[in-house]
Amino acid sequence: MPALPTRDFPAGLAELALDLRWTWSHEADALWERVDAEAWSRTRNPWIILQDISAERLRALAADRSFVAELERLASTRQAYLDTPGWFSSAHGTAALSGIAYFSMEFGIGEGLPLYAGGLGILAGDFLKTASDLGIPVIGVGLLYQEGYFRQIIDAAGAQHEAYPFNDPGSLPIEPVPGPDGAWLRIALDLPGRPVSFRVWQARVGRVRLYLLDANDPRNSPADRGITGKLYDAGSEIRISQEVVLGVAGWRVVEALAPEVEICHLNEGHAAFAILERARAYMRRSGLSFREALWATRAGNIFTTHTPVEAGFDRFPADALAKYARYVEGFLAEAGIGLDEFLALGRAGPDDGNEPFNMAYLAVRGSMLTFGVSRLHGQVSRHIFQPLFPRWPEVEVPIGHVTNGVHVPSWDSPDADDLWTAACGKERWRGVPDALPELIASLSDEQLWIMAGEEREILIQQVRARLARQLGSRGYPPETVAQSANVLDPNALTLGFARRFTGYKRPNLLLRDPARLARLLNDPARPVQLVLAGKAHPADEAGKEMIREWIDLAQGPEFRQRVVFLEDYDIALAQELVQGVDVWINTPRRPWEACGTSGMKVLVNGGLNLSECDGWWEEAYAPELGWAIDDGRERPEGEGDAEDAEGLYAILEQEVVPEFYARDAAGMPRRWLERVRRSMASLTPTYSSSRMARDYVEQYYLIGAAELRRRTAAGGEPARAMQSWEARLRRHWSGLHIGETSLSREGEAWSFSIPVYLGEIAPADIAAQLYADPRDAEPPFVGVLVRGEAILGATNGYIYTGTARATRPAEEYTVRIVPHYPGVRVPAELPLILWQK
């Protein structure tokens, strides 16, 4: 097993460099600059610095008493962080929840570990950091990609090119994981026709461990070593392999290293095979059948869906997937189920042999609890997953929501950090942020305006330096490169726009009227400037053309000093942008932005949002906090763009720009600063990952863990009983019959009496209900019907009675029968339903 470099580092130095806490805690920055100032300024990666350091330099540092003293102080501070109980321990503790395994196809923790493509990975990274800060017992499970996502290069003509630098494990801040025998832990997996071995690495993320599976093992064939070659490989065969590895081998990592884990949290459906592997493992331990084991373990499975359109889910042809289903540890034979039953887990129509296998459908069916990533996305997801719950009202499709949040310490500027520390203390993001709004609301206009000016000045210096490197690498003459030092104005209103360039994001909305944009930006009394960044998918030619349009505009004489497009949008560039812009612009086509966390990252830094009412902004927007482009209507693709562009121009011209430049005698924009103060105080805590993680724990993890413990008690007998109950209901459901309703009015209520014939089903196994659709802002009405006397001359027939408010016409109420069993989530776990005809 590879060891750490053999050089003799001063005690604690390697541990400090290997703990990715340096991606958000900057207390050791000065130390690393002291070790190698040039390498630190270029990489901001302590582990890279230690890879290149000379023995002579190490000896000098070890002999430097002040350096050793500072290193000892930082090591002590880090150990205190690791040892101090966090929020979770004091609020709940392992007695209620022993562990969570968080599965994700990508993790965006920092540029030193480039295993992410976009928002999904950034969220995953932010969550691991937050779990560390709050002391939540989380491990991460992912893949170690040899290439990761592409790096963007823009040529002189404005065309995007993709580069795929190699992720050398020896240069990444990761370590091999030792197995029980002291050798490198490997996970074996039988893929079609051959065994494959996966090495396990770990990254330290404060108190959290991220385990990464690596196929690039000399024991494997060259083709198999490429399974973890590239993030989101375009080939269907490799993509299936990656998702089998992430789910099946990933759960085996959990079994080997963290058997105490109770919650399996799937961040999107890529890892949904973990559901099957978990059930198979429990089946082996308990002696239950596969279906019984799935009933037991499903309680501990949580699924987060991020996709706003059904076409975005990973789907695989049945024949391609069947090959893997047959070979992964002989899964079908061991589970005792047929191929059709297996494929039905990932289909809306279980009997449709032509329907592809949908990973998100498997995730929903195998999880007791599912949620989207914003309030609006929860609504959209209920529509998307409606086919899995036939005849159930869309409003009752069991998809909730937890709105995403951002790990604030990863995104705040040094100036913002100082301001928040003075107002709220250093521990403000390591607990529940409920008290922060009042504290931050006490900041003065002068403090906020000084912070904004310093942040904007730093951003502009960073933009100029990046632009100079960018132009130089394109081959521009030195005199053109030198002009980079004069772009942008540190006192001008600075707008930021950075995201993936694709159609539904509408990144070119501001380009619909270039002449109007030129007048807006070049007003001599009220200048405005725009900093942009973003990548297009390598196969998205339309997205690449949008990038070219912006670059062409930025090179024109009217815009050269006011518009800058920066290449290679990544975490480091995102941090610079969100820390320095005055207004963050977002223009998605509603409701295609599931959440969109980029705008959350400006909040702590005093930035404001001007956005479409989509994703998180749909629930966060208020007139005193920022600006909304439209009225929240949803329109087909291509419609409404002109109206939204007009609205965007008008808000900038009539509201944003005048407010920023409306100064008093002291040169202060008082109304603007009041808006900034309200945004910081109200929105930053609400859209922090501290709040998000608490919601995960209290709304999902604790519920799942408690039910898992109940179902797995007594060797899984409760789960065995649940499976027996399900089989009984499915076998006899067609024998249910609802008779004609007898109706009367009693004061302000309707009184219902309905004969129900249960056939072979016991009364305790069902619930009879009155239902009425939602009306206005009210939720649907669901009332209990009480079983009364038996119907004379009928077998297993009873009169059910109930009442409902007479504020609605009686014909709006309908009788229905649904499954009922203590602890079972209906319809999430059994979507049977019978309506009165």
CATH class of this structure's domain 736-835: mainly beta
Q: In this structure, are strands 786-790 and 797-805 parallel, antiparallel, or unpaired?
A: antiparallel
User: Is the preceding omega at residue 591 within 30 degrees of 0, hence cis?
Assistant: yes
Q: At a CB cut-off of 8 Å and minimum separation 6, what does 236 contact?
A: 316, 317, 320
Q: Measure the CA–CA gap between 336 and 358, rounded to whole angstroms.
A: 22
Beta partners for residue 564, in sequence order: 531
pLDDT of 632: 66
Tell me the backbone φ, ψ of residue 416, rounded to 5 degrees: -65, -40
Helix axes 571-578, 445-473, angle to 10 degrees: 140
Is residue 693 within 8 A of residue 702, CB to CB? The reply is no
**Kind plus residue range of the DSSP H or E element containing 804:** strand 797-805
Query: β-strands 781-784, 766-772: how paired?
Result: antiparallel
Helix (H), strand (E), coil (C) string for 678-719: HHHHHHHHHCEHHHHHHHHHHHHHHHHHHHHHHHHHHHHHHH
What pLDDT sits at residue 352? 87
Q: Phi and psi (nearest 5°) for 568?
A: 60, 60
Which uninterrupted H or E stretch holds 815?
strand 814-819
Locate the DSSP E strands across 524-642.
528-533, 563-566, 583-586, 608-611, 627-628
How many Å apart are CA 275 and CA 331, to the nearest integer? 13
For residues 217 and 249, what is the distance between their CA atoms, to the nearest angstrom? 15
Please give the backbone phi and psi of residue 211, each rounded to the nearest 5 degrees, phi first: -100, 135
Q: In this predicted model, what pLDDT tens digit does every residue of 15-40 receive, in sequence order? A: 999 999 999 998 999 999 999 999 99
Q: What is the CATH number of domain 87-404+697-715?
A: 3.40.50.2000
CB 767 within 8 A of CB 806: no
Which conformational region is residue 484 in: left (phi greater than 0), alpha (psi within -120 to 50 degrees), or beta?
A: alpha
Q: Report how far residue 498's alpha carbon sits from residue 254's, in angstroms, rounded to the nearest whole number.
A: 36
Say whether domain 408-687 belongs to CATH 3.40.190.10. Answer: no
Contacts of 180 (CB under 8 A, 6+ apart): none
Q: In whole angstroms, what is the distance from residue 464 CA to residue 200 CA?
A: 41
pLDDT at 7: 60
Domain segments of the chain as ranges? 13-83, 87-404+697-715, 408-687, 736-835
CA dist 78 and 82 (Å) reads: 6
Question: Is-contact 268 304, C-beta < 8 A?
Answer: yes
Residue 216, classed as helix, strand or coil, is: coil
For residue 206, give Cα distances in angstroms to 24, 83, 109, 792.
10, 11, 11, 69
Regions in the chain scoring below 70 on pLDDT? 1-7, 329, 631-633, 636, 638
**Domain 87-404+697-715 shares a fold with domain 736-835:** no
SS3 143: strand
Residues near 95 by beta carbon (within 8 Å), at least 6 away in sequence: none
Which residues does residue 781 pair with via DSSP β-bridges, in sequence order?
A: 772
